Amino acid sequence: MRPLRYSINVTLDGCCHHEGPRPTEAMHRYTAEILARADALILGRVTYEMMKAGWRSPSPEMPEWTRPFAEVIGHAKKYVVSRTLQSVDWSAELVQGDAVAAVRALKEEPGSGLYVGGVNFPLQLADAGLIDEFELIVHPRIAGHGPTLFAGLAQAVDLELAAQKDLGDGIVARTFVPRS
């Protein structure tokens, strides 16, 4: 069974809007490394469209240090969960119907792991108890606005710290696993 890992950038006040945290070279390098180890990425429609718009053809003005992340995410196998999209591209496969059941089936396949990102769809996966690791890349910033993580979760999920990595500039990647 493949583990399902959730990873997201978040500010100190819990904002997970893509404009909340400030990108850094170390953060991009770290994220490229963890995504490169995944068998596939699972994305909701909003996250897929946002990532595709920003990373399919990165702007030439973007810093050189963003290129490895762009390459990894561009080549990664992606499953896109959507009720409204009719088709996807960019190394992606569309998942329609019962998305939680589809993710459960993907977890049953052999491999080293799956990654999910975003805000809305991971809430459904957390409610279903399907997320094996929660990684918060915490940025030393207070955004003061934007969506927060797991708003509307049906019941609390108790976690324990499994790993922590300092990415410099006050950014810390903290990985939690559900308590047994």
CATH architecture of the domain formed by 4-178: 3-Layer(aba) Sandwich (3.40)
Query: How would residue 21 be classed by pLDDT, with cut points 50, 70 and 90?
Result: confident
DSSP 52: H
Sign of CA dihedral 153, 157, 163, 168: positive
Closest CA to 115 of 72, 166, 57: 72
Identify the pLDDT of residue 20.
Answer: 65
What's the pTM? 0.92
Biggest alpha carbon–alpha carbon distance for the chain: 47
132-154, pLDDT tens digit by residue? 999 999 999 998 888 888 988 99
**Exposed, middle or buried, 64 (CB in 10 Å: 0-12/13-18/19+)?**
exposed
Per-domain residue ranges of the chain:
4-178
DSSP-assigned beta bridge partners for residue 116: 6, 42
